[in-house]
Amino acid sequence: MFETEPRESMNRSLGAVLIAFSLFLSGCTSETEKPLDPLQDEDGDGLSNGWELERGFDPRNASDMLICQGQAKFCERQYDNHTFPETHNSFSTFEDEVWMAVNHYTALQAQWDGGIRAFMIDIHHLSNDDTEKEDVRFCHGSPDAFPHPCMYSEVDAFAWLSQLNSLMNNSSGDVVTLLIENYVPGEHVDYLFNVTGMRDKTWVHQVGEDWPMLGDMVLNGKTLVVFWDYSDDERWPWLHHAWTHSWDTPYGEDEESQMSCTVGRGSGEAEAWHLNNWLSTPWGFADPIRSSDVNDYDFLLTRAIECWEVFDDRPTFIAVDYWGNGEILNVTLTLNEMDHWSDEIPPHPGI
């Protein structure tokens, strides 16, 4: 009976030691962690602490992150404050077996692999007589012309958009834009996007509202922005009137000297805008020879920065013909490393 108290005391002492050791191993006895500065990047992954915390990421774990347009830091950039490489008449290519009014050598797969993330497309009916929703095609030209444009440049719109849908599904953090020159009813455009699985990806933007951050678009699974040249229609709020929600510069000039930083279509007041950068031949077709000159790295970068300064707004899209001639991708990579037109120009991405 006299041994009870010493044993109980010893057991209590041993228990205290074990608890203390356990606390030591778990870090509970270490200094209290400093509160996170929401503007800083604690783990060096390119995302600010506050942005990560608000979206459920661990700001102290560099592997817990999101990639947007190839880099984590772009996830915090608003859609209209990023520069996307864009192809004019993206479907009108030799690989697509278009033999007249060609704009590019290579088709969608090569364009995607080359970094293109914005595409200009023309939606027609197969002919002036075939006007059902199943007859939608990508063709280059006016439906009032002779011959009908689908006679010489018919591309399967359903297959093309289905392929783009697959590419987007297999990518990580890519936001894509389509600009539609449209010659079919909205119901038929809606049918095309539903059948190809693209409709569920569309972001809806309201005039006067800020565009979202790229990361929020990715997290919401709404990674497709669609502009068309018809007016806004409440039946299809995801089809944004191009010249209300955005604007562009003049296009298809005859000479380099005619290229300007002036407003073409639209008011010039929307945040998103297209810098058109291609020349036309005397016959009105895309010029494959001089595309190398206007898509040249130094020429295109200089022009983009000059227009950025004029409008005090980064070009959201830079649209070109014959995208494989010149360095449209490297130009946009350089621009996206800049926060302001007056910044020091970073080294060429290939160096």
DSSP string, 94-155: TTTT--SS--BSS-HHHHHHTT--EEEEEEEESSSS--SGGGEEE--S-TTSSS-GGGT--E
Predicted structure pTM score: 0.89
46 by Cβ neighbours in 10 Å (0-12 / 13-18 / 19+) ranks as: middle
Q: Which CATH number fits domain 79-336: 3.90.330.10, 3.90.78.10, 3.20.20.190, 3.30.450.20?
A: 3.20.20.190
Given a contact cutoff of 8 angstroms between Cβ atoms, the answer to whether 325 and 291 are in contact is: yes
CA distances from 262 to 83, 164, 251, 256, 305 (A): 18, 32, 11, 14, 14
CATH 3.20.20.190 domain span(s) along the chain: 79-336
222: tokens are: 């709404």
Full pLDDT tens readout for the chain, 351 residues = 434 444 444 444 444 444 344 434 444 444 456 789 999 999 999 999 999 999 999 999 999 999 999 999 999 999 999 999 999 999 999 999 998 889 999 999 999 999 999 999 999 999 999 999 999 999 998 888 888 999 888 999 999 999 999 999 999 899 999 999 999 999 999 999 999 999 999 999 999 999 999 999 999 999 999 999 999 999 999 999 999 999 999 999 999 999 999 999 999 999 999 999 999 998 888 999 999 999 999 999 999 999 999 999 999 999 999 999 999 999 999 999 999 999 999 999 986
